[in-house]
Structure 1
Amino acid sequence: MFRKVLASVGIGAAKVDTILETEHLHPGQKFQAKIHIIGGNVAQDISGLQLALMTKVKVEGDDGSYFINHVIDKWRIAEQFTIAPGETKIVPFEARLHSETSITELPTGFNQTHVWLETGLDIDLAMDPSDRDYLHIYPNDAVKTCLMAMEKLGFALVKADVEKGFLNASNFHSVSGCYQELEFRPQTRSMFGIQEVELSFIPETHQTHVLIELDRAFRGDGYVDLTIEHDQVNLSQLCDQLERLFA
C-alpha cells in the first residue's frame, strides 16, 4: 500500500524518452520515433501515451505581448497499460508533421520560432512526466525560393515569430490555430514606398499559399496574396510576381 501511495505522488514514477530517427525535417514530412517507457520503483497503471507537436505563440495582453505554448497537432499512441518496476517498453511510432509546422531554420539572427515534440504519460492520480525533443524545421523549395526573391528585390529578413490565430484569404485559410510571420525590411530606400513586408506561408501538398502584409509609407497597411505551385517554382517568375504585387 505504501509503495502505491508513493507512486501516486510521483515518487519512483515511470519515465518516458522519445528517440527520433532525425530531428531535421520539413513541414508535412513523415517522421519515425521509438518511445521508451521505463518503469520506476513500483508498478504503475498508465492511462495512455500521447505525443504533441508544439510551438511557442505570441499573444497580445493588456500589459503587452507574451509567449505561450501551443499544440499544433497531437497523437494518442497507446491505450491503458501497466508498467512493472524496472520494466522497459519500446513503442515504435510514425506520423506526418502538420503541413503548417513553423520553420525554425531561417537566415535571421532574431528568430523566436521554436518547435518540439513533447511526449507524456497519463498516469492515474500521479504526476505527468514528459519528454521534450526540439526539431529543426526547414523551408520547402517554394518558401526557400520566395526568401531568395525577397533578397533579390532588396529586402532583408529581420525577424521571425509565431502568432496565435488564423490566416484567411480569398482562396485559402490556415487551420493550425497559429501562423508564422517573417518580417522583412528594405536594405535601402524602397522604390515601392514600402517600409516593411510580413510574409506568412500555408503549405499544402502541391502548392504553398503566401499571405503578404505591406506597410507602405503613404498608404498604410494592406494585404495581398499569391500561390506558388510546387512543380512551377521559378526564382525569376516569383520576383516578377512580387514586384507586381508591391507596385
Structure 2
Amino acid sequence: MVFKRMLRAFGVGGPTVDTVLSNASTRPGLTLAGQVDITGGDHEVEIDQITVALVTRVEMETDDEEYDGTVEFHRVPVCGELRLAAGQQLSLPFEIDVPWETPVTDMYGQRLPGMTMGLRTKIWVRGAIDPGDLDDVHVYPLPVQERILEAFAALGLPFTGADLEHGQLAGLPQTMPFYQEIEYASAPQYPGVSQVELTFVADPHGVTVVLEFDKKAGLFTPGHDAYGHYRVEHTAAESIDWIALVDSWLRQSLEQRHALLGGYGGGHGGHHGGHEDGGSGMGGVLAGAAGGALAGFAAGMVAEEVFDVIGGDDEEDEPEEEESEE
C-alpha cells in the first residue's frame, strides 16, 4: 500500500512524501528498488539528507523482561542536501541491497506468522528527523532455503511459528545482530524430540543450516537442547534429495543422544553441495511438499500486531529477478 504523508518535522504547510517500491517482494542477496516522491509545501525548506532502511521486529531480553523491539539493520542514502521550493516536485530513485542474512518473511504468497519487515524512509532536516514513510516488504526464501522448508513439510513436522532472536550464534560468520528461528513440532518418526528450530545463515556462496532440537525429558534422563549445523552451497538447490538429507540431519541428532547427554555442544560434519544422493523423481514430491508447507503456514496463522503504519496484507508478486549463483 502506497500512501502520502505530510512531513511532521515541517509542520502544517510543509512538504509531503511518497515512497514507491517497484516490487515489494525480494530475496536475500537481491535488491529493492523504488523512488521517493516529494512535493513541496507552501514555503521553501532545506533537507540535509534522505535515507531508506530495512527494519524488522526482534525479540530482546533484558534483566527483567522480554520484549519485541523494532530494529533497523540496513540503511542507504537516497540523496544529500537539497533545497525544496514551494510546490516543487522531486522524484528521487534508490536501490537498496538486501543482505544475505535477511530473514525469510513469506512463502507461497503468504506471510510467515510472527514475521514483519518494512522499508523506512527518513527525512533528515536541521535539528529534526522525520520518519517519513514505512512500506511493507516481502522476503522470499532462496532456492536452498525453500527446498529445506518443503522437506520439513514433506517429513510431517508441523510448522508452529517464527521469530527473530537478538544475539549471535557461536562459531558462525554471522553479521546481523539477530537470527531467525523457524519453529516446528516433532513428528512420530523422531521419538524423543519435542521441537525443532531451524535457522539459516546465508552468504553469497551458500547457506549454513542450524538445527536446535528440544529433547523431551525422560524418566531417567533430563530434557535438554542439542545443536547441529550443516553447510549447503547455492548450486546444490536442484541436485540434492532434500527430503532424505533433512531426514538424515534429524536422525543424526537422535543417534547422538548419549553423547549429547554428556554435554555435546558442537555441530555435526557439514553437508556440502557435492552430496551424492540424487534427486530423481523429486519434482512431484517437492510439489506436494510445497502444498503441505503452505497448509502448515496457513494453519499457524494468527492475527499479528505489526508495525502500525505498514499497510494491509495485500498479496505481492514474488521477485522476478533470479539470484546469481557463484
Same fold (TM over 0.5): yes
Query: Mind listing any 5+ residue stretches in structure 1 that lack a counterpart?
Result: 1-6
1:243 matched to 2:250? The reply is yes
Q: For the Cα contact (< 8 Å) 1:182–1:198, is it kept in 2?
A: yes
Query: Mind listing any 5+ residue stretches in structure 2 that lack a counterpart?
Result: 1-7, 218-222, 255-326
Deviation at 1:84, TM superposition (A): 0.8
Aligned equivalent of 1:114: 116
Aligned equivalent of 1:224: 228
**Structure in which a larger fraction of residues adopt strand:** 1
Counterpart secondary structure, 2:130: coil
Separation in structure 1 between the aligned mates of residue 13 and residue 117 of structure 2, nearest angstrom: 30
Amino acid in the other structure paired with 2:193: I
User: CA deviation digits over 1:144-184, x for unaligned, max 9?
Assistant: 11112222333111111112222233xx3311111111111
TM-score normalised by structure 1 residue count = 0.88
User: CA deviation digits over 1:73-93, x for unaligned, max 9?
Assistant: 001221111111111111111
Deviation at 1:223, TM superposition (A): 1.2
Q: For the Cα contact (< 8 Å) 1:17–1:35, is it kept in 2?
A: yes
Q: For the Cα contact (< 8 Å) 1:163–1:180, is it kept in 2?
A: yes
Mark the CA change 1:128 to 1:154 in structure 2 (over 3 Å): closer, same or farther.
same
Separation in structure 1 between the aligned mates of residue 102 and residue 25 of structure 2, nearest angstrom: 13
Mark the CA change 1:222 to 1:164 in structure 2 (over 3 Å): closer, same or farther.
same
User: CA deviation digits over 1:55-80, x for unaligned, max 9?
Assistant: 01111245542211101200122111
User: CA deviation digits over 1:188-208, x for unaligned, max 9?
Assistant: x35341111111111111201
Q: For the Cα contact (< 8 Å) 1:9–1:125, is it kept in 2?
A: no
User: CA deviation digits over 1:81-114, x for unaligned, max 9?
Assistant: 1111111111111231111111111489871111
Separation in structure 1 between the aligned mates of residue 30 and residue 131 of structure 2, nearest angstrom: 27
Aligned equivalent of 2:147: 145
User: CA deviation digits over 1:8-41, x for unaligned, max 9?
Assistant: 7623222322111101111111221111122122
Q: For the Cα contact (< 8 Å) 1:72–1:98, is it kept in 2?
A: no
Q: For the Cα contact (< 8 Å) 1:158–1:185, is it kept in 2?
A: yes
Counterpart secondary structure, 2:158: strand
Q: State percent identity of aligned pairs.
A: 28
Aligned equivalent of 2:161: 159
RMSD: 2.2
Q: For the Cα contact (< 8 Å) 1:122–1:128, is it kept in 2?
A: yes
Q: Which moved more, 1:189-198 or 1:91-100?
A: 189-198
